[in-house]
């Protein structure tokens, strides 16, 4: 059963008084339960627009989007957030900087639930949060009472990932979530990501510019060019890819 379906998804914007620019051009895409899809493409290929239209931050010009066979084309970003979690490139996004690590996790734990006046039960969840952060392996468990804004970039991105997956989302969007990190921290976060995705059998789309990550992670790959999917490789085809193959994709786009 498809978790996500996009049918003839098109996004057109005005690029001047008499000029239109096509950001997405009739995208047809179906993502099945448990697929981990890496998304590649050059600048302006439509990667961010794809994620923005899926998450609801940008409405489609035409076409339809379905989650679990339910049409969500006209749903707001807030309403889609019941099913979709997203981790952004910027470590400053996705967390509340003045709230502590524990408070951020508690907030994420209540995702999609009705909110009202009730005890927040922070202390009752402290051991759970400690164990969750300890799995990350970067010392985050020692900062439960630290405001998220005081964390390192890698720790903050790890917190964002934990927040996005503490409740199992129908769809996880990873929007170049390692791009702002140094190579060592990026590698560590990708290992954590792969572990969380496998452990929870998450359905995931990941934009990346790191060719090594595109080769090493995921069981499917799509390549975008000028708002269209020009390559869609299954697990077997992806496993046979080499670095020269990926570089060739980009050379052909120029």
**Which residue pairs, CB below 8 angstroms and at least 24 apart, start in 226-235?**
226/22, 226/25, 226/44, 226/45, 226/46, 227/11, 227/22, 227/23, 227/24, 227/25, 227/27, 227/45, 227/46, 227/49, 228/25, 228/26, 228/27, 228/46, 229/27, 229/28, 229/29
- Minimal CA–CA distance to 77: which of 93, 55, 59? 55
pLDDT in tens, 192-251: 999 999 999 999 999 998 889 999 999 999 999 999 999 999 999 999 988 888 887 776
Both tokens assigned to 174 = 């990873």
Asked if 214 and 183 touch (Cβ cutoff 8 Å), the reply is no
The SS3 call for residue 218 is coil
Which tens digit of pLDDT belongs to each residue from 50-60? 999 999 999 99
What residue numbers bound the domain in which 163 lies? 2-112+119-253
Which residues face 30 on adjacent strands? Answer: 5
Distance CA 56, CA 76 (A): 6
Distance, in Å, from the CA atom of 212 to the CA atom of 246, rounded to the nearest integer, reads 10
Structure-block tokens of residue 37: 């899809």
What CATH number corresponds to the domain at position 95? Answer: 3.40.50.300
Q: At a CB cut-off of 8 Å and minimum separation 6, what does 56 contact? A: 72, 75, 76, 77, 78, 79, 80, 81, 84
117 pLDDT band, cuts 50/70/90, is very low
The answer to whether 197 and 204 are in contact (CB under 8 A) is: yes
Based on the structure, what is the number of domains in the chain?
1
Q: What is the mean pLDDT of the chain?
A: 90
CB 46 within 8 A of CB 207: no
Q: Which pLDDT score, from 0 to 100, does residue 114 have? A: 56
């Amino acid at each position: 059963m498809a978790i996500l379906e996009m049918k003839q998804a098109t996004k057109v914007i005005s690029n001047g008084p008499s000029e239109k620019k096509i950001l997405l051009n009739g995208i047809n895409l179906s993502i099945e339960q448990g697929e981990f899809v890496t998304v590649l493409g050059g600048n302006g290929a439509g990667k961010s627009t794809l994620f923005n239209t899926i998450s609801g931050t940008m409405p489609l010009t035409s076409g339809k989007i379905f989650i679990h066979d339910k049409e969500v084309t006209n749903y707001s970003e807030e309403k889609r957030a019941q099913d979709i979690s997203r981790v952004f490139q910027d470590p400053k996004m996705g967390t509340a900087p003045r709230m502590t690590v524990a408070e951020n996790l508690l907030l994420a734990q209540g995702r999609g639930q009705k909110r009202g006046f009730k005890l927040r039960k922070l202390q009752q969840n402290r051991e759970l949060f400690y164990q969750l952060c300890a799995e990350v392996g970067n010392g985050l468990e020692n900062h439960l009472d630290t405001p998220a804004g005081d964390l390192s970039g890698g720790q903050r991105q790890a917190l964002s990932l934990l927040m996005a997956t503490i409740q199992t989302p129908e769809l996880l969007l990873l929007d170049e979530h390692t791009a702002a990190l140094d190579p060592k921290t990026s590698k560590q976060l990708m290992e954590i990501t792969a572990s969380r995705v496998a452990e929870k059998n998450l359905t995931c789309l990941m934009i990346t510019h790191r060719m090594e990550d595109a080769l090493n992670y995921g069981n499917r790959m799509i390549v975008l060019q000028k708002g269209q999917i020009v390559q869609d490789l299954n697990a077997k085809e992806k496993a046979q890819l080499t670095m020269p193959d990926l570089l060739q994709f980009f050379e052909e786009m120029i």
